[in-house]
Amino acid sequence: VKNPSLKLTKSSATVKVGKTTKISAKATPSGKITYKSSNTKIATVSSKGVVKGKKKGTAKITVTCNGVKKVFTVKVK
């Protein structure tokens, strides 16, 4: 049995206010991936991993699957 793993294609991104970026995550074994923004005033994230910039600043998106957590940093310009 392999330990569960979670890989993000990128660990950070920069978006402009009003624009979106997608967090690309691959989980082994595959499971439900959840996304949570540390600051929804700066950036929101959908259940599909689409991050939308709200206002200038930095937010961390916590990506979780099978008990494994990764952090994706979003800078909004």
Q: Kindly report the CA angle at 54 between 34 and 32, in degrees rounded to 5?
A: 10
Q: For the whole prediction, is pTM greater than 0.85?
A: yes
Concatenating the DSSP letter of every residue in 5-70 gives EEEES-SEEEE-TT-EEE--EEEES----EEEES-TTTEEE-TT-EEEE-SSEEEEEEEEETTEEE
27-59: pLDDT as tens digits = 999 999 999 999 999 999 999 999 999 999 999
pLDDT bucket at 2, cuts 50 / 70 / 90:
confident
Residue 1, SS3 per DSSP: coil
| Nearest by Cα to 13 from 66, 63, 65, 51 | 51
Report percent pLDDT > 70 for the chain: 99
